[in-house]
Amino acid sequence: MYTEPQEILSRLYTDVAFRKDFITDKKLFCKKYTITSLEVIKFIEDIPVSQIVFFAQSLITKRMHEVKNLLPGTSLLMGKMINEFFVRYSESYVPNGIHKHHDDAKHFVTYLLKQKKISDQKESDYYLRTILSYELQRIKNFISPKRFLISFYRHDLMRVYPLLLKTKNLNVPAKKKTIILWKSSRIIKLL
Amino acid sequence: MKNIPHLGVGIGFRTELKSLIFLNRDKIDFVEIIADHYIDVPDEKLQEITLLKQYFTVIPHAINLSLGSVEGIDIEYLQKLKKLIEFIDPPYWSEHISYTKAHGIDIGHLAPIAFNEKFLNIIINNITTVNEVIHYPLILENITYHVDLPGRSYQDASFLNILCERTGCGLLLDITNLYINSRNFNFNPLSFIDSLNLENIVQLHFVGFETTDDQIIDTHSAKTSPEILELMNYLFKKCKPKGILLERDGHFEKQEEIIDDLVIANNFF
């Protein structure tokens, strides 16, 4: 039961299904969510729908922009496809906390890694998943640095990743097994 | 607010702008850091602040206190913010007249509050809570809003005047946000400035904006437009803020634009 307009607004901004009910029929919306206070019902009647929709969409755009900044390699490799995936993902999760954008990026990468196909070809799909895993570990290491963690990769990411960001060359590089040590906030290549 | 020193021209500190900032130290007097970027981070990250303090005055700009929240302030977050501000020891710090979370939902951005008595009292109470914990002068920023909430009983400027008067806080007047709101909601920004108690203004924010088909958006990623500069000129004829800050958040590769904006800002003083 909703009695506080601010709570309703927060949910309208962030919950797709809740917002859809509101846009479709405000009277039914109030009934469905047991909004009985006359003051709150009047507030809902007076809220401009188009403005709520615009703001809600701008929040997703902002989230996407921040997440893409945290996943520069992934963004380069996926191109415009990342936008479609993000919009679908954003309907299922709302990040929170001081480092909410890192939290968002972490959950988005996890979502992407669960998809059957995130690139057009098999080899580029493998490479993209490698970059995703690397960027995911970087984010996890920022949120809570590991004292000691070893990761194995199919490519020499310490060399390939900075080159990808610098040259924007999207070709899949030659495979080279690499072992990386994550120690506190440092990344060290062991092999 | 009377004891706040003159600061001059500033720029929002972003990692991508580090080189530009240090190479253009002659044009920059102070930097603003986003508080959340330095809370719950490794010590190496905090060393960035130590380095910045050697060359500039550092102003912490908070974004997540949610001063307009009906349910009050997150005390755990407030304590973390206090620790950071004390580490920086600034002449003042800033937050926004907005809310970012309510009833367990983190909106992820600055959302507007209704400009009425209810929210005036809410925000005053929250600021009282904050001032009991953080003993540094606080200035409050006006945000861009895309939702004009029902139940308004104050115009924007009147709300800001009363809020500053009742809390003792200063005003961080974001000229770009003012301009964007005036265009999106059809009011005269000059009348807004005329209605404002200019003695409350401590600092300005300015930067460029972008337009869609029917709205202007505060992307903070473009060169400052002539309309924004005109508003700043108009304001400067009436009062002299302690500082003007370029709040650039994107398209960092356009370095000449950014430097141009800093030069223009310096000309105001």
- pLDDT tens profile A97-123: 889 999 999 999 999 999 998 887 777
Task: Please determine, for residue A146, whether its predicted confidence score (pLDDT) is greater than 90.
Answer: no
Residue A191 is predicted with a pLDDT of 66
CB B55 within 8 A of CB B22: yes
Query: Which residue in A4, A11, A14 is closest to B70 by CB distance?
Result: A4
Average confidence (pLDDT) over B134-141: 98
The radius of gyration computed from the CA coordinates of chain B, to the nearest angstrom, equals 18
Question: Does B150 sit within 8 Å of A46, measured CB to CB?
Answer: yes
Task: Please determine, for residue A173, whether its predicted confidence score (pLDDT) is greater than 70.
Answer: yes
CA distance A50 to chain B (A): 9
Residue A114 is predicted with a pLDDT of 95
B10-15 long-range CB contacts below 8 Å, 24 or more apart?
Answer: B10/B56, B10/B57, B10/B59, B10/B203, B10/B243, B10/B244, B10/B245, B10/B246, B11/B245, B11/B246, B11/B248, B11/B258, B11/B262, B12/B61, B12/B245, B12/B246, B12/B247, B12/B248, B12/B249, B13/B52, B13/B58, B14/B248, B14/B249, B14/B252
Average confidence (pLDDT) over A44-53: 95
Of residues B195 and B104, the one with the higher pLDDT is B195
Task: Please determine, for residue B161, whether its predicted confidence score (pLDDT) is greater than 90.
Answer: yes
Residue A190 is predicted with a pLDDT of 67
Q: What's the pLDDT tens digit per position in B204-256?
A: 999 998 887 777 877 888 899 999 999 999 999 999 999 999 999 888 999 99
Which of B65, B67, B107, B144 to mutate to probe the A interface, most A CBs <10 Å? B107
Task: Please determine, for residue B126, whether its predicted confidence score (pLDDT) is greater than 90.
Answer: yes
Q: How confident is the model at residue A161 (pLDDT cuts 50, 70, 90)?
A: very high
Residue B169 is predicted with a pLDDT of 97
Interface A–B counts its CB contacts (< 8 A) at 81
Residue A185 is predicted with a pLDDT of 62
Residue A159: other Cβ atoms inside 10 A: 13
Query: Which residue in B40, B44, B109 is closest to A98 by CB distance?
Result: B40
Task: Please determine, for residue A149, whether its predicted confidence score (pLDDT) is greater than 80.
Answer: yes
- ipTM value for the complex: 0.91
Residue B44 is predicted with a pLDDT of 85
Torsions phi, psi of A115, nearest 5?
-75, 145
Average confidence (pLDDT) over A157-174: 89
Residue A74 is predicted with a pLDDT of 95
Q: What's the pLDDT tens digit per position in B14-37?
A: 999 999 999 999 999 999 999 999
Residue B38 is predicted with a pLDDT of 96
